[in-house]
Homo-oligomer: A and B are copies of this chain.
Protein backbone atom coordinates (compact mmCIF):
# COMPACT_ATOMS: atom_id res chain seq x y z
CA UNK A 1 0.00 0.00 0.00
CA UNK A 2 1.40 3.44 -0.89
CA UNK A 3 2.72 5.28 2.13
CA UNK A 4 0.63 8.27 3.17
CA UNK A 5 1.57 11.51 1.54
CA UNK A 6 -0.22 14.82 1.21
CA UNK A 7 -0.37 16.83 -2.01
CA UNK A 8 0.43 20.47 -1.33
CA UNK A 9 0.21 21.66 -4.94
CA UNK A 10 0.36 20.41 -8.50
CA UNK A 11 0.78 22.42 -11.68
CA UNK A 12 1.17 21.43 -15.29
CA UNK A 13 4.57 22.42 -16.63
CA UNK A 14 6.25 21.54 -19.91
CA UNK A 15 3.64 18.85 -20.48
CA UNK A 16 4.35 17.17 -17.14
CA UNK A 17 3.36 17.89 -13.55
CA UNK A 18 5.37 19.81 -10.98
CA UNK A 19 4.09 18.78 -7.59
CA UNK A 20 4.88 19.58 -3.97
CA UNK A 21 4.10 16.95 -1.35
CA UNK A 22 4.53 16.41 2.35
CA UNK A 23 4.59 13.41 4.67
CA UNK A 24 5.40 12.51 8.23
CA UNK A 25 9.01 11.39 8.12
CA UNK A 26 10.00 8.61 10.50
CA UNK A 27 13.68 9.35 9.84
CA UNK A 28 13.41 13.00 10.84
CA UNK A 29 10.45 12.73 13.23
CA UNK A 30 8.69 15.66 11.61
CA UNK A 31 6.69 16.57 8.54
CA UNK A 32 8.90 16.85 5.48
CA UNK A 33 8.09 18.61 2.21
CA UNK A 34 9.55 17.73 -1.18
CA UNK A 35 9.04 18.57 -4.85
CA UNK A 36 8.67 16.09 -7.71
CA UNK A 37 8.47 16.77 -11.43
CA UNK A 38 6.91 13.96 -13.43
CA UNK A 39 7.25 14.23 -17.20
CA UNK A 40 4.49 13.31 -19.65
CA UNK A 41 6.37 10.15 -20.66
CA UNK A 42 5.62 8.63 -17.25
CA UNK A 43 1.99 8.12 -18.31
CA UNK A 44 3.23 5.43 -20.66
CA UNK A 45 6.17 3.90 -18.81
CA UNK A 46 8.05 4.38 -15.54
CA UNK A 47 10.74 7.04 -15.86
CA UNK A 48 14.23 7.23 -14.35
CA UNK A 49 14.77 9.45 -11.34
CA UNK A 50 17.21 12.33 -10.89
CA UNK A 51 17.73 13.44 -7.30
CA UNK A 52 18.59 17.09 -6.84
CA UNK A 53 19.95 18.02 -3.40
CA UNK A 54 19.90 21.71 -2.51
CA UNK A 55 22.39 23.89 -0.71
CA UNK A 56 22.52 25.80 2.56
CA UNK A 57 19.43 27.89 3.42
CA UNK A 58 17.36 26.24 0.68
CA UNK A 59 14.15 24.24 0.88
CA UNK A 60 12.66 22.03 -1.85
CA UNK A 61 11.41 25.22 -3.43
CA UNK A 62 14.50 27.12 -4.52
CA UNK A 63 15.51 24.80 -7.33
CA UNK A 64 11.87 24.24 -8.26
CA UNK A 65 11.51 27.99 -8.78
CA UNK A 66 14.94 28.89 -10.11
CA UNK A 67 16.73 25.73 -11.29
CA UNK A 68 15.11 25.62 -14.75
CA UNK A 69 15.18 21.82 -14.92
CA UNK A 70 11.70 21.10 -16.22
CA UNK A 71 12.07 21.84 -19.91
CA UNK A 72 14.97 19.45 -20.31
CA UNK A 73 13.60 16.86 -17.88
CA UNK A 74 10.40 16.88 -19.94
CA UNK A 75 12.36 16.42 -23.14
CA UNK A 76 14.48 13.60 -21.72
CA UNK A 77 11.70 11.90 -19.76
CA UNK A 78 13.23 12.31 -16.32
CA UNK A 79 11.51 12.45 -12.95
CA UNK A 80 13.24 15.07 -10.79
CA UNK A 81 12.96 14.79 -7.00
CA UNK A 82 13.96 17.77 -4.84
CA UNK A 83 14.03 17.07 -1.09
CA UNK A 84 14.26 19.66 1.64
CA UNK A 85 17.69 20.28 3.19
CA UNK A 86 16.86 19.58 6.85
CA UNK A 87 14.08 18.75 9.28
CA UNK A 88 11.71 21.66 9.94
CA UNK A 89 9.23 22.74 12.54
CA UNK A 90 8.70 24.36 15.92
CA UNK A 91 10.01 21.29 17.75
CA UNK A 92 13.25 20.98 15.76
CA UNK A 93 16.42 22.14 17.59
CA UNK A 94 17.87 24.99 15.57
CA UNK A 95 20.22 27.93 15.71
CA UNK A 96 18.20 30.61 14.00
CA UNK A 97 21.00 33.11 13.59
CA UNK A 98 23.34 30.59 11.95
CA UNK A 99 22.65 29.77 8.30
CA UNK A 100 25.39 27.14 8.30
CA UNK A 101 23.80 24.92 10.95
CA UNK A 102 20.38 23.59 11.88
CA UNK A 103 17.32 24.21 9.73
CA UNK A 104 18.37 24.61 6.11
CA UNK A 105 21.74 23.03 6.88
CA UNK A 106 21.26 19.31 7.44
CA UNK A 107 24.40 18.36 5.47
CA UNK A 108 22.81 15.04 4.40
CA UNK A 109 24.17 13.22 7.44
CA UNK A 110 22.69 11.30 10.37
CA UNK A 111 23.50 13.26 13.50
CA UNK A 112 24.67 11.31 16.51
CA UNK A 113 24.74 14.07 19.12
CA UNK A 114 22.03 15.25 21.51
CA UNK A 115 19.74 17.07 20.77
CA UNK A 116 20.21 16.72 17.00
CA UNK A 117 20.23 12.95 16.61
CA UNK A 118 16.45 12.65 16.83
CA UNK A 119 15.65 14.82 13.79
CA UNK A 120 18.78 15.57 11.80
CA UNK A 121 18.88 12.31 9.89
CA UNK A 122 18.93 13.59 6.31
CA UNK A 123 21.22 10.77 5.12
CA UNK A 124 18.69 8.10 6.08
CA UNK A 125 15.88 10.28 4.85
CA UNK A 126 17.32 10.85 1.38
CA UNK A 127 18.86 7.39 0.97
CA UNK A 128 16.11 5.19 2.44
CA UNK A 129 12.85 6.81 3.44
CA UNK A 130 12.16 9.20 0.59
CA UNK A 131 13.13 6.72 -2.17
CA UNK A 132 10.64 4.24 -0.71
CA UNK A 133 7.97 6.93 -0.73
CA UNK A 134 8.79 7.89 -4.31
CA UNK A 135 8.74 4.26 -5.43
CA UNK A 136 5.34 3.75 -3.82
CA UNK A 137 3.67 6.90 -5.12
CA UNK A 138 5.18 7.88 -8.45
CA UNK A 139 5.68 6.19 -11.85
CA UNK A 140 9.41 5.89 -11.18
CA UNK A 141 11.84 3.27 -12.46
CA UNK A 142 13.95 2.96 -9.30
CA UNK A 143 16.45 0.75 -11.12
CA UNK A 144 17.54 3.91 -12.92
CA UNK A 145 18.57 6.67 -10.53
CA UNK A 146 21.00 9.57 -10.77
CA UNK A 147 22.01 12.16 -8.20
CA UNK A 148 23.15 15.75 -8.34
CA UNK A 149 23.12 18.82 -6.14
CA UNK A 150 24.47 22.27 -5.43
CA UNK A 151 27.00 23.34 -2.82
CA UNK A 152 25.98 21.50 0.38
CA UNK A 153 23.74 19.47 -1.93
CA UNK A 154 26.75 18.73 -4.14
CA UNK A 155 28.41 17.37 -1.02
CA UNK A 156 25.29 15.30 -0.47
CA UNK A 157 25.27 14.00 -4.04
CA UNK A 158 28.96 13.05 -3.97
CA UNK A 159 28.91 11.34 -0.58
CA UNK A 160 25.65 9.50 -1.20
CA UNK A 161 26.86 8.30 -4.62
CA UNK A 162 30.21 7.18 -3.21
CA UNK A 163 28.47 5.22 -0.45
CA UNK A 164 25.81 3.77 -2.77
CA UNK A 165 27.56 3.23 -6.11
CA UNK A 166 25.21 0.40 -7.09
CA UNK A 167 22.16 2.56 -6.58
CA UNK A 168 23.11 5.41 -8.89
CA UNK A 169 23.98 5.25 -12.55
CA UNK A 170 25.49 8.72 -12.49
CA UNK A 171 26.54 11.55 -10.22
CA UNK A 172 27.19 15.23 -10.85
CA UNK A 173 27.44 18.38 -8.78
CA UNK A 174 27.26 22.15 -9.07
CA UNK A 175 29.91 23.91 -6.96
CA UNK A 176 30.01 21.14 -4.35
CA UNK A 177 31.50 21.32 -0.87
CA UNK A 178 34.04 18.55 -1.49
CA UNK A 179 35.71 18.46 1.94
CA UNK A 180 33.22 19.69 4.55
CA UNK A 181 35.29 18.30 7.41
CA UNK A 182 37.92 20.99 6.90
CA UNK A 183 35.88 23.90 5.47
CA UNK A 184 35.23 26.78 7.81
CA UNK A 185 31.52 26.98 7.05
CA UNK A 186 30.82 23.28 7.66
CA UNK A 187 33.30 22.06 10.27
CA UNK A 188 31.38 23.64 13.19
CA UNK A 189 28.22 21.91 11.98
CA UNK A 190 30.00 18.56 11.83
CA UNK A 191 31.20 19.08 15.40
CA UNK A 192 27.68 19.69 16.62
CA UNK A 193 25.98 16.96 14.59
CA UNK A 194 28.64 14.25 14.89
CA UNK A 195 30.77 15.14 17.92
CA UNK A 196 34.44 15.91 18.20
CA UNK A 197 35.79 12.54 17.01
CA UNK A 198 36.79 13.49 13.47
CA UNK A 199 37.05 9.84 12.44
CA UNK A 200 33.26 9.76 12.48
CA UNK A 201 33.16 12.62 9.98
CA UNK A 202 34.92 10.70 7.22
CA UNK A 203 31.81 8.93 5.99
CA UNK A 204 30.23 12.31 5.27
CA UNK A 205 33.17 13.82 3.42
CA UNK A 206 33.68 13.06 -0.28
CA UNK A 207 37.48 13.29 -0.30
CA UNK A 208 37.77 11.18 2.87
CA UNK A 209 35.41 8.57 1.42
CA UNK A 210 37.59 8.31 -1.67
CA UNK A 211 40.73 8.05 0.48
CA UNK A 212 39.00 5.30 2.42
CA UNK A 213 38.36 3.28 -0.71
CA UNK A 214 34.92 4.32 -1.89
CA UNK A 215 34.59 4.65 -5.63
CA UNK A 216 32.18 5.93 -8.27
CA UNK A 217 32.47 5.30 -11.99
CA UNK A 218 32.71 8.96 -13.06
CA UNK A 219 31.70 12.39 -11.84
CA UNK A 220 30.77 15.68 -13.54
CA UNK A 221 31.38 18.90 -11.59
CA UNK A 222 30.76 22.49 -12.71
CA UNK A 223 32.32 25.27 -10.69
CA UNK A 224 32.13 29.02 -11.31
CA UNK A 225 35.41 30.92 -11.19
CA UNK A 226 33.69 33.98 -9.67
CA UNK A 227 32.08 31.95 -6.89
CA UNK A 228 32.71 33.80 -3.64
CA UNK A 229 33.03 30.51 -1.76
CA UNK A 230 35.53 28.94 -4.17
CA UNK A 231 38.73 29.24 -2.17
CA UNK A 232 37.42 28.88 1.36
CA UNK A 233 34.50 26.52 1.29
CA UNK A 234 34.44 24.68 -2.01
CA UNK A 235 38.03 24.00 -3.19
CA UNK A 236 37.26 21.60 -6.07
CA UNK A 237 40.98 20.90 -6.46
CA UNK A 238 40.77 18.75 -3.32
CA UNK A 239 38.25 16.53 -5.08
CA UNK A 240 40.35 16.60 -8.22
CA UNK A 241 43.42 15.42 -6.31
CA UNK A 242 41.49 12.65 -4.58
CA UNK A 243 39.89 11.47 -7.82
CA UNK A 244 43.21 11.53 -9.67
CA UNK A 245 44.87 9.46 -6.96
CA UNK A 246 41.98 7.00 -6.87
CA UNK A 247 41.56 6.77 -10.63
CA UNK A 248 38.02 8.15 -10.61
CA UNK A 249 37.29 10.00 -13.87
CA UNK A 250 36.29 13.52 -12.83
CA UNK A 251 35.08 15.99 -15.41
CA UNK A 252 35.71 19.27 -13.57
CA UNK A 253 34.66 22.28 -15.58
CA UNK A 254 35.75 25.68 -14.28
CA UNK A 255 33.12 28.04 -15.68
CA UNK A 256 34.54 31.48 -16.28
CA UNK A 257 32.81 34.34 -14.48
CA UNK A 258 29.97 32.36 -12.90
CA UNK A 259 29.07 32.81 -9.25
CA UNK A 260 27.41 30.53 -6.69
CA UNK A 261 23.80 31.42 -7.52
CA UNK A 262 20.92 29.79 -9.35
CA UNK A 263 21.95 31.89 -12.35
CA UNK A 264 24.96 29.57 -12.47
CA UNK A 265 22.98 26.40 -11.74
CA UNK A 266 20.30 27.10 -14.32
CA UNK A 267 22.90 27.87 -16.97
CA UNK A 268 24.39 24.39 -16.73
CA UNK A 269 21.29 22.42 -15.70
CA UNK A 270 20.69 21.21 -19.26
CA UNK A 271 24.21 19.79 -19.46
CA UNK A 272 23.81 17.90 -16.21
CA UNK A 273 20.43 16.47 -17.10
CA UNK A 274 21.80 15.32 -20.46
CA UNK A 275 24.80 13.76 -18.69
CA UNK A 276 22.47 11.82 -16.44
CA UNK A 277 20.03 10.89 -19.19
CA UNK A 278 22.81 9.37 -21.28
CA UNK A 279 23.69 7.11 -18.37
CA UNK A 280 20.10 6.36 -17.43
CA UNK A 281 18.83 5.57 -20.89
CA UNK A 282 19.37 1.80 -20.91
CA UNK A 283 16.96 -0.27 -18.85
CA UNK A 284 18.47 -2.08 -15.88
Residues of chain A whose beta carbon lies under 8 Å from any beta carbon of chain B: 11-15, 18, 65-66, 68, 70-71, 224, 226, 257-259, 261-264, 266-267, 270
Q: Is the interface of A mostly helix, strand, loop or mixed?
A: mixed
Task: Establish whether residues A68 and B71, one from each chain, have CB atoms under 8 Å apart when the complex forms.
Answer: yes
Task: Establish whether residues B11 and A263, one from each chain, have CB atoms under 8 Å apart when the complex forms.
Answer: yes
Contacts of A66 on B, CB cut-off 8 Å? 65-66
A16 CB, min distance to chain B CBs, angstroms: 10
Task: Establish whether residues B70 and A259, one from each chain, have CB atoms under 8 Å apart when the complex forms.
Answer: no
Contacts of A70 on B, CB cut-off 8 Å? 263, 266-267
Task: Establish whether residues B71 and A258, one from each chain, have CB atoms under 8 Å apart when the complex forms.
Answer: no
Partner of A12, one of B226, B262, B270: B226
A155 CB, min distance to chain B CBs, angstroms: 22
Task: Establish whether residues B68 and A12, one from each chain, have CB atoms under 8 Å apart when the complex forms.
Answer: no
Closest to A261 in B: B11
A100 CB, min distance to chain B CBs, angstroms: 22
19 more CB-based (< 8 A) A-B contacts, given A12-B259, A12-B263, A68-B266? A11-B258, A11-B259, A11-B261, A12-B226, A12-B258, A12-B264, A13-B263, A13-B264, A13-B267, A14-B267, A18-B263, A65-B65, A65-B66, A66-B66, A68-B68, A68-B71, A70-B263, A70-B267, A71-B267
Can you offer 9 A-B residue contacts whose CB atoms are under 8 A? A11-B258, A11-B259, A11-B264, A12-B257, A12-B267, A65-B65, A68-B68, A70-B266, A71-B266
Give the complex CA separation of A107 and B31 in angstroms.
40
